Structure 1
Amino acid sequence: MKHSADYPLATRPIMGFADAYPAGMRDPPHSHPRSQLTYCSAGVMMIGAAEAVFMLPPRRSIWIPAHLVHEVQCRGPVSAYTLYIDPALDPNPQTARVIEVSDLVRALVFEVGHFHPAYDMEGREGTIASLLLSEIRRMAVTPSDLPMPRDPRLLRVCHALMDDPADQRDLDEWASLAAMGRRTFTRAFRRETGAGLATWRQQVRLMAAIPLIEAGKPVAIVAYEVGYESPSAFTATFHRVFGMPPSAFINQPHDRQA
């Protein structure tokens, strides 16, 4: 595992490297003086930042603004490219976001991730770096974040669901865990997360499903392990959220390894 502190990041507007992370890797809360773009080529990363948890599935990137405290977890093996970018070039410096990645951006990330730290700004490398920054600004943001509440009582519920997405407790039982009445719990949860408990739990279950699908588990088993009553219900929800059924997600061509 490589560390940004090992690289002379300030020598060029954009610097980066390829790396691989083992299953179970946890990088505790930290920040960087530069903006960070991480592209996940294989595996799934979970990034906690700005009172939200972001899921980074394969073939997408996350942009983390400079100085934003964040933490990273890899439940399974992950291959990724991480680029560090002059914060003056960040068009939206306050917001962490997961972005779609075009074939062109993916190819440019691969190239920049293997540049020498002292690459020629006036030559081919500098042209590629400039094109990458221009293309990143054009990429669409995709909803992959899970808002986390501040109230410790609600956090207790959220952490329980994240630890066991298949937990089938009903609304009254979750309200009891939070030591709240049903109506108070419902209103507080929506106020702090922007979603009802059922919608929030659905997102947790889908986040939990992606690493299992990536690991090659049958869709039917994944569906039950993350709490769905039937594979068909899981497949329908997955298709609605990701724009493809789990089978198509599994069969997407994999990138070359970092």
Structure 2
Amino acid sequence: MENSTSKRQPSSIGQRIDSQRPIVGLRGHLAANVDMDPHQHPRGQLAYASEGIIRVYTDAGSWVVPPTQAVWIPGNIVHRTNAEVCAELRHLFVDPAYLHSLSDQCSVVEVSPLLRELIMKVADFGTEYLPNSPASRICAVILDELQALKPSLLHLPGATDRRLQRVMKTMIKSPNAETSLNELAAKVGASERTVARLFSKETGMTFQQWRKQLVLQEAVDRIGKGDAVIDVALALGYRSPSAFVAMFRKSLGKPPGQYFSDTGTRIEF
């Protein structure tokens, strides 16, 4: 799933401490197959791409982020970002003085049309706006919106157990493979029961639930890059596009056509 070919240094905006500017914005561009170096900063970050699809990685797992969603990253969490298609970035960074009212867990969140417009405005403000200005009042509204964000389902939990990490890595390399849990466990020198228990303990999901989440992430990524729905369905092991569309709708609440039309992305069937 990862095929980055070059590295890029992250912005230093997240390092800036200034409680009079509760939110500062970043407007930028991330080229395809460019991987941001792992980094952390005291400001919390709402990682958002107004165009394209980005992936965000932390020790807790990975997230696929289309333009209808964003990833909330609390302060001082090591993370990195990449894009498999060109992405227009509009990140927000929240000063540590305001993080106590926000989640201390990474999560994908739904971006409402209102929040999207607010993000775009603040990203254009940058870092130099006056306290008690129109810009600062918009930031206050955003802080309220951030407290009310609803988690999305596009999260793939990670693991700390090395055996489970190896199983996950094998699955990520071949998300369409129908290798059984018993076969995967044998490859890492563990029993099927042990690996099943590790999935439940470390991810809060069963093996099958985690695999389904992996397929869902891969589907969103591939369709977002322009692959036809029928090709994605068959490549990910579905015998018919209708079965794939049913899974997609059940998981994300919308069929692929509607889901991606909401992002402004044209898709092929």
Work out whether the TM-score is over 0.5.
yes
Residue 149 of structure 2 is matched in structure 1 by 139
Q: Distance in 1 between matches of 2:137 and 2:68?
A: 23
Comparing 230-239 with 70-79, greater Cα deviation is found at 70-79
Alpha-carbon contact 2:57-2:80 (below 8 Å) kept: yes
Aligned residue in 2 for 1:237 = 247
Q: 1:22 aligns with which of 3, 23, 31?
A: 31
CA distance in 2: counterparts of 1:45 and 1:215, whole angstroms? 11
Change (3 A) 1:156 1:50: closer
Distance 1:142 1:250 in 2: 15
Question: 2:113 matched to 1:106?
Answer: no
Aligned equivalent of 2:43:
34
1:53 and 2:62 matched: yes
- 1:220 aligns to what? 230
Displacement of 1:50: 4.1
Residue of structure 1 in register with 2:17 after alignment: 10
Unaligned runs of 5+ in 1: none
Give the corresponding residue for 2:82.
Answer: 73
The one-letter amino acid paired with 2:36 is D
- TM-score after normalising by structure 2: 0.87
Q: Is the 8 A contact 1:2 1:19 kept in 2?
A: no
How high is the TM-score relative to the length of structure 1?
0.91
State which of 205, 218, 221 in structure 2 corresponds to 1:208.
218
**1:227 CA displacement:** 2.8
Partner amino acid for 2:60? E
- Provide the secondary structure at the position in 2 that maps to 1:121: coil
Within a 5 Å distance, the mapping from 1:180-195 to structure 2 comes to 180-195=190-205
Cα offset, 1:41, TM superposition:
1.5
Contact 1:13 1:85 in 2 (8 A): yes
Aligned counterpart for 1:122 among listed residues 124, 128, 132: 132
2:14 and 2:45 in contact (8 A); partners too: no
Which residue number in structure 1 is paired with residue 73 of structure 2? 64
What's the CA shift for 1:228? Answer: 2.4
The gaps in structure 2 that reach 5 residues or longer are 1-7
- Tell me: CA distance 1:175–1:105, structure 2 relative to 1, closer, same or farther (3 Å): same
Cα RMSD after superposing both structures? 2.0
CA drift at 1:112: 0.3
Deviates more, 1:159-168 or 1:114-123: 114-123
Secondary structure of the 2:89 match is strand
CA contact (8 A) 2:66 2:263 kept: no
Does the 8 A contact of 1:66 with 1:93 survive in 2?
no
Residues of 2 paired with 1:140 and 1:252: CA distance?
A: 17
Q: Superposed, which structure 2 residues align to 1:86-97 within 5 Å? A: 86-90=95-99, 91-92=101-102, 94-97=104-107
Moved more, 105-114 or 124-133: 124-133
Q: CA deviation at 1:93?
A: 5.0
- Give percent identity, aligned residues only: 31
Distance 1:87 1:50 in 2: 21
